Amino acid sequence: MSIETISEQRCFGGVQGTYRHISRETGGAMRFSVYRPPAAEDGPVPVLYYLAGLTCTEETFPIKAGAQRVASELGLMLVAPDTSPRDTGIEGITTDWDFGEGAGFYLDATQAPYAERFRMYSYVVEELPALIAGQQPVDVARTGIFGHSMGGHGALTIALKNPGRYRSVSAFAPIVAPAQVPWGEKALPRYLGDDRAAWGAYDATALVREGRRFDGTILIDQGDADQFLAGQLRPEVFEEACREAGQPLELRMQAGYDHSYWFIQSFVEDHLRHHARALRG
Amino acid sequence: MSIETISEQRCFGGVQGTYRHISRETGGAMRFSVYRPPAAEDGPVPVLYYLAGLTCTEETFPIKAGAQRVASELGLMLVAPDTSPRDTGIEGITTDWDFGEGAGFYLDATQAPYAERFRMYSYVVEELPALIAGQQPVDVARTGIFGHSMGGHGALTIALKNPGRYRSVSAFAPIVAPAQVPWGEKALPRYLGDDRAAWGAYDATALVREGRRFDGTILIDQGDADQFLAGQLRPEVFEEACREAGQPLELRMQAGYDHSYWFIQSFVEDHLRHHARALRG
């Protein structure tokens, strides 16, 4: 697999890089960003994947979240993929901000014309980690995952569906029950078909209700001034499912915070330390 | 003066805001951003102005520098103006990235057709601080200034030209001798005319050589992998002038860092603490 380096720049003693490769899973060019901490010069380091939300790219997290300082201190590598395949040429695929390019929902689509390229689940779970393991000094046994909004949905579902693969998981303002909210009700039938039974495979609340568990405490931060809280996010639905299932969950409601990266940067240090406790232990 | 609030969002317990007003000095609408730390709820706080570089806006610093965390801790207000007037309608004024809109060089132009609107010096030194003092809980006696590249030039020249007004000054990769480098040799004659004598009023090295002093140590960070180091920045020119003049200067060369905000975010905490020592003392 050939990887093209777009840029590599010094940041907090480490390197912030952007790379490009041709993806087998998504059938086209994909970009991803990596923050390599100084500790990576001395040997393999734990790796933490970040999944971004609707409309975002591989640039959003490194530019807006302010996570490199703590990652440098803790010796964590940060990897952020794009949020979907790009330049798919599918008719109307860039028309909506909450469906299509920039809105891959971290699933493997089964419906035409999306099934061939919209395979972000397999990309994030299989292809990208293999690529990273071949390129960067990572200890793959120490992998964590987190994300924001649609990316929080991705992190939660991916961690629940792959027991043992991720040692830690957290989310900022995640979509926790896509099958029950407008964003999911719009995207899931297009990607997965009208049979709602298929949607449950990519719904964190449904996964917990059907018996999936994460071996550890899930950390979620949610702003109580988030404009999407009542309509799209509904963390109480996931909280109830976790309580009934005995799944450890720390849901922190943060007073006055909205859905933005101003919110994320305010709490990203807590999340990195949460992951470091599991990854460095 | 009427100020329009574009946005206000919670960040590190304070508020990140963007505002718009009609500027007397620049003859049109100007935007600026403010980070108001939690301490501002209890009374006036010190205020630190940040001047951005070529092509930047009032958004660049708050989004990319990661300064709010430390400003929250230290109780510093951060104010970032735009880098020039906008929508001036002057022919060709948006053609170049290093002259015109986005490249106001923090001076008061004297030449037509720029003189009427390109008055960023008076805007930053007089109009904006008066506006902030009327809108925000600031202790104007405790004001500092810093900036990056063209904005570092702005911070240094403004601090040198206004003794007693700023208690602290610092810069990232500043233009220190615009009259001697291509960026200045392009912009200064257009804004100020062909007589080089007029350029010295906006040249930090020339100001120090003619006897201007800052009452305190000037802090400068400069990456040694900066693509503009040898051609446009030349900190050694300013260093020599300061040494000969007895102007205290701490110039730190940072190995491997370039001209980007990855560099700025790596050292912004040091700068905020430098300012806080002077502003809170």
Residues in B touching A67 (Cβ below 8 Å): none
- Cβ neighbours of B9 in A, within 8 Å: 258, 260, 262-263
pLDDT tens for A40-72 read 999 999 999 999 999 999 999 999 999 999 999
Residue A21 annotated in active site: no
The answer to whether the Cβ–Cβ distance between B262 and A66 falls below 8 Å is no
ipTM of the complex model: 0.95
Query: Best residue in A262, A269, A272 to probe B by mutation, most B CBs within 10 Å?
Result: A262
- pLDDT truncated to tens, each residue of chain B (281 aa)? 589 999 999 999 999 999 999 999 999 999 999 999 999 999 999 999 999 999 999 999 999 999 999 999 999 999 999 999 999 999 999 999 999 999 999 999 999 999 999 999 999 999 999 999 999 999 999 999 999 999 999 999 999 999 999 999 999 999 999 999 999 999 999 999 999 999 999 999 999 999 999 999 999 999 999 999 999 999 999 999 999 999 999 999 999 999 999 999 999 999 999 999 999 87
Residues with Cβ within 8 Å of residue B195, at least 6 apart in sequence: none
* Nearest residue on chain B to A223, alpha-carbon basis: B10
Q: What is the arithmetic mean of pLDDT over A155-182?
A: 98
Residue B38 with chain A: CB contacts under 8 Å: none
Taking the model in full, what pTM does it have? Answer: 0.96
CB within 8 Å of chain A, chain B residues 124-143: none
Closest CA to B49 of B156, B207, B134: B156
Q: What residue ranges do the domains of chain B occupy?
A: 4-280
Chain A residues with CB under 8 Å of B56 CB are: none
Q: Is A9 on the interface with B (CB under 8 A)?
A: yes
The pLDDT tens digits for A104-131 are 999 999 999 999 999 999 999 999 999 9
**DSSP 8-state symbol, B217:** P
CA distance A222 to chain B (A): 13
Burial label for B230, CB within 10 Å (0-12, 13-18, 19+), is exposed
Cα(A67)–Cα(A272) distance, integer angstroms: 8
CB A173 within 8 A of CB A260: no
Q: Is A124 helix (H, G, I), strand (E, B) or coil?
A: helix
Task: Decide if B13 touches A, using CB distance below 8 A.
Answer: yes
Give the mutation candidate from B7, B8, B10 for the A interface (greatest A CB count, under 10 A).
B10
Contact B258, B221 (CB under 8 A): no
CATH code reported for the domain at B4-280? 3.40.50.1820
Closest CA to B120 of B100, B140, B137: B100
Return the residue of B nearest to A73 by Cα. Answer: B266
Q: Does A63 touch chain B (CB under 8 A)?
A: yes
